Amino acid sequence: MNSTTSTQSQRFLILILGALTCLGPMAIDLYLPAMPAIAKGMGEPLGLIQLTLSAYTIGFALGQVIFGPLSDRFGRRRVMLSGLVGYVLTNFLATMTETATQLIVVRIFQALAGASVMVCIPAMVRDLFPRKECARAMSSILLVMTIAPLVAPVIGGHILRFAGWQSLFLFLSVLGVLALLLSLAQVKESLPAERRTYMTPRKLLQSYKDVMTHREAMSCILAHGFFFGGMFAFISGSPFVYIELFGVPAENYGYLFGMNILGMAFCNVLNMRLMNSFPLHGLLRFGVGMSFLASLIMLLNAWTGFGGLAGIAAPVVLYIACSGFSGPNANALALAHFPKIAGTANAAAGVVRFTLGGITAGLAGILHNGTVYPMVGLMVVCGLLSVLSLIVLGGSREKTEAELETANMPLEQKEAA
């Protein structure tokens, strides 16, 4: 195989993996415009339907802990294909649910299946590409994945316009079948049998403990985690706020939602340009601070009624756009402390993010009172906690590469040095 053919094959594989990563965001964002319709169709309170989103995020967090080690033990492809089968079946089961409780249970299993796919894709990239190419490949995959939350609410709104809410989950099930067939035909195993590892439960727990008790790493993980919680308060609360409170047609909800994704993509590109001139910790602080400021503006507009829908939607765009600064930089700074267990550290950070997201999504449903304040209030609290995570737990400055290398040395090497 010549180099041109090899490059084309790599690009095709990256495109396939990027398409597979879209399944998770599609399962979250496609049915957002349908939440009020699901509540009416089932005769359930909207707050209870909002808990289906919380159930998905918590299930997704648990799935990362379970399937990460399984993919190291049994291979990526086997775990991923099993997850795709589960994704198809659980979406089909969701079309037959009649109560919110049934849908919540199905969504938990749906999230577990989705997590098994999502944890395998970064691992496959690490298996197949050297470090520099790995970063480039992951950036390309994330760029493809950005399409999903951008178009999913729009597609969901228009499907809902012509068919019932069950059709949304049937659509996801069909997407899962197509992804399964594509994976069977084009995705090969990336982890040879001789490189597979088995980590004992005790060693795995110790690794997670090392991450969770590292002060500086946790400051970054929590800073982005609380931001993530605020974002899920918006995701859970915005269908009511936009559609029911401000009268936005369900088929137009996706356009408002898409503005947030465009803002996120813009800040992500801007962050990539600025990181050559500014320290990562400074860019992280900027992103977190701007998100908190946006939440305060949102609260002020909600209290005064200033700007109506625009007075809420515009600060939301600023809040979520700043994830382009907080997400990449928080992850890079946190993982730098764990070069030998980066996968475990990444899983731990994912668990924190999705657990906080699940909690705030649930609280948005529990606190639902027919006003904008539960959504906005949760975003303000999360923004404040994000800032406090950096102030209280963060180091006074960003460590250099040499300092990180010394800090990560075994004790005997430190003493010798």
Tell me, yes or no, whether 160 and 226 share the same domain: no
Tell me, yes or no, whether 122 and 245 share the same domain: no
Within a domain: residue 3?
A: no
CB-based contact 114:57 (threshold 8 Å): no
Residue 132 to residue 160: CA distance in whole angstroms: 43
Tell me, yes or no, whether 193 and 207 share the same domain: no
Within a domain: residue 4?
A: no
- Residue-number span of the structural domain to which 193 is assigned: 10-198
Tell me, yes or no, whether 229 and 269 share the same domain: yes
Within a domain: residue 218?
A: yes
- Residue 362 identity (one-letter amino acid): G
Tell me, yes or no, whether 130 and 217 share the same domain: no
Q: What residues have CB less than 8 Å from 79, skipping those under 6 apart?
A: 67, 70, 71, 116, 120
- Whether the full predicted model's pTM is greater than 0.85, yes or no, is no
Specify the number of domains making up the chain. Answer: 2
CB-based contact 83:115 (threshold 8 Å): yes
Tell me, yes or no, whether 58 and 163 share the same domain: yes
To which residue do tokens 């963060």 refer?
Answer: 394
Within a domain: residue 228?
A: yes
**398: which 2 tokens?**
């960003």
Residue 298 to residue 288: CA distance in whole angstroms: 15
Tell me, yes or no, whether 257 and 149 share the same domain: no
Tell me, yes or no, whether 206 and 190 share the same domain: no
Tell me, yes or no, whether 192 and 203 share the same domain: no
Within a domain: residue 144?
A: yes
Tell me, yes or no, whether 248 and 274 share the same domain: yes
CB-based contact 208:349 (threshold 8 Å): no
> 164, 198, 232: which is the final residue of a domain?
198
> 146, 173, 198: which is the final residue of a domain?
198
> 198, 217, 237: which is the final residue of a domain?
198
- Residue 158 identity (one-letter amino acid): H
Residue 155 to residue 136: CA distance in whole angstroms: 29
Tell me, yes or no, whether 342 and 373 share the same domain: yes
CATH of the domain at 339: 1.20.1250.20
Within a domain: residue 129?
A: yes
Within a domain: residue 2?
A: no
* pLDDT digit string (tens) for the chain, length 417 residues: 444 446 667 777 778 888 888 888 888 888 888 888 889 889 988 888 888 888 888 888 888 888 877 877 788 888 889 999 999 999 999 999 999 899 999 999 999 998 888 878 877 877 777 654 665 666 667 767 777 877 888 888 888 888 888 999 999 999 999 989 988 888 887 777 777 767 678 888 888 888 889 998 899 999 999 998 999 899 888 888 998 899 988 888 888 888 988 888 888 888 878 877 888 888 899 999 999 999 999 999 999 988 899 999 999 999 999 988 888 788 778 877 876 666 667 778 888 888 898 889 889 888 888 899 999 999 999 999 999 999 988 754 455 444 444 444 443 443 344
Within a domain: residue 1?
A: no
Residue 14 to residue 10: CA distance in whole angstroms: 6
Tally of CB atoms within 10 A around 45: 13
Tell me, yes or no, whether 371 and 346 share the same domain: yes
